[in-house]
Structure 1
Amino acid sequence: MSEPTTSTRGAAAGRILEATSACIVHKGAADVSLQDVAEAAGVSKALIHYHFHDKGELLARLVEWLRVGLIARQTNALNGVSASAALDALWQWLSDELERGDLRALLDLSLVQGDAVEAAVRTTAAARRDAAATVTTQLFDALGLRPRVPASLIADVFVAFVDGLALDTVVDPSRNARISFDVFWLAMLGLTD
């Protein structure tokens, strides 16, 4: 019998992480068991333990995995986009993220206790603020505007706004998030010269 290759190991770990995220969006991090994840991923609990020592490590790695994807998609949201399409492109990124559910999973994971998960959440929060600062700076530059407040402060508010929309999609899925997005950016653009 041949040994599993690095790519098959990575594929199994990826399936486990995807299944864990989906389970968290469906049930919440506190109620997800390794058995739930195994069933959703189509693997055994033993394979989960092979890739992740315990639930704490699985959740910490999930935070990291979600961060990498979220940050990559966000920082690329405005690449190659004209100034006139910049806000629509940013909305498309956010709309896709709200539908994907990764933000919801990250918010739920931020409430999980445990050193590894808490450290991953802190790192993710800092990376999200940095990515938001990059994107808001790109947006203002594309529009030829100069904010009267530091971009880092606008980025902090943007992250809080995005998190609020992610929670709002759970509380009231019928609510039109695009209207909130437009009002938010209208207010932010009012802080420019």
Structure 2
Amino acid sequence: MTKAERALETRERILKAACEVIADIGFENVSMRKVAEHAGVSKALLHYHFDTREKLFAEAMTHSFAQTGTDLDGGDAGSVPAAVLLARIVRTMLPTDEELRQDWKLWQELWVRAQRDEGARQLAVDLYDQLHTWVGGAVEQGVESGEFTPCDVAAVSTLVLALCDGLGIRVMIADPHVDLPTAQSAIWSAIAPSLGISPAFPEV
């Protein structure tokens, strides 16, 4: 392994550890020492890669977002029905497994910080822009293939994001009135009329 490869592996290990620690105890309780210990590196090495908690938080959020995966069709978007692709995206934007629940905890930390920190606010806006583009791409694919009726792609994308956020929070807090199937069904029923498709959530 080259020096550059070792540095990259260390950076990835630190980011993974930071995501886990922030999700576990919240950013306000995180210290660089705790992240270093969890990553199995020295505090000095941690500071070599990330000189402030704020930079570490921003990189951890970006890392978490990237790990979610925005290529759910396996690289063959043209052969995957747009409804299936969109349904997969919806599932990925909800806390459907432990890894995604961790991502959701990080998003919740970002929402709070974005209210009082300009850097966090801009990061949140940038990540939402990427999510909007991701959802919009699936909707556009469906419109172009004839699976979906022509619609306001931006409006549908915004609706999907808003519904995933609102219902995802209810799932995260274990609201007895909103479980994952209920959330998925509510989202799909809300967007189905605009897309001209069945309101039943697809099997994915």
Of the candidates 38, 41, 44, which is equivalent to residue 42 of structure 2?
44
Q: Comparing both chains, which one has the higher relative contact order based on Cα–Cα distances under 8 Å and sequence gaps of 6 or more?
A: 1
The 5-angstrom pairing of residues 84-99 of structure 1 reads 85-86=84-85, 89-90=88-89, 92-94=91-93, 98-99=97-98
The residue identity in structure 1 corresponding to 2:39 is A
Where does residue 166 of structure 2 map in the other structure? 164
CA distance in 1, matches of 2:68, 2:180: 19
Query: What's the CA shift for 1:41?
Result: 1.2
Measured after TM superposition, the shift of residue 29 of structure 1 is 1.8
1:67 CA drift (Å): 3.0
CA distance in 2, matches of 1:171, 1:23: 19
For the structure 1 residues 121 and 162, does the alpha-carbon distance in structure 2 shift closer, same or farther, using more than 3 Å as the test? same
Amino acid at match of 1:158: V
The question of 1:81 aligning with 2:80 is answered: yes
Q: Higher mean Cα deviation, 167-176 or 32-41?
A: 167-176
Counterpart in the other structure of 2:23: 25
From the superposition, tell whether residues 16 and 95 of structure 1 become closer, same or farther in structure 2 (CA, over 3 Å). Answer: same
Larger mean Cα displacement after TM superposition, 181-190 or 115-124? 115-124
Change (3 A) 1:82 1:72: closer
Percent identity between the two aligned chains: 20
Pairing 1:136–2:149 present: no
Per-residue Cα deviation, 1:73-129 (whole angstroms, up to 9, x for no partner)? 468698343467456544553467653122331231232244443332221121111
Measured in 2, the distance between the counterparts of 1:142 and 1:89 equals 18
Q: Summarize the alignment of residues 46-61 of structure 1 with structure 2, pairs less than 5 Å apart.
A: 46-61=44-59
- Residues 1:187 and 1:114: Cα distance change in structure 2 (over 3 Å): closer
Q: Is the 8 A contact 2:95 2:171 kept in 1?
A: no
2:125 aligned residue (114, 122, 125)? 122
Deviation for aligned residue 1:18: 0.9
Partner amino acid, structure 2, of 1:99: E
Q: Secondary structure at the match of 2:112?
A: coil
Name 1:180's counterpart in structure 2. 183
Equivalent residue pairs, number? 190
Unaligned runs of 5+ in 1: none
CA contact (8 A) 1:35 1:45 kept: yes
8 A contact 1:17–1:62 mirrored in 2:
yes
CA distance in structure 2 between the partners assigned to 1:135 and 1:103 by the alignment: 22
> What CA RMSD, in Å, does the superposition of the two structures yield over aligned residues?
3.1
SS in structure 2 of the partner of residue 53 of structure 1: coil
Q: Secondary structure at the match of 1:43?
A: coil
Q: CA deviation at 1:165?
A: 3.8
Q: TM-score, normalised by structure 2?
A: 0.76
Which runs of no fewer than 5 residues in structure 2 stay unpaired? 197-204
Assess, with a 3 A threshold, how the Cα gap between structure 1 residues 120 and 111 changes in structure 2: closer, same or farther. same
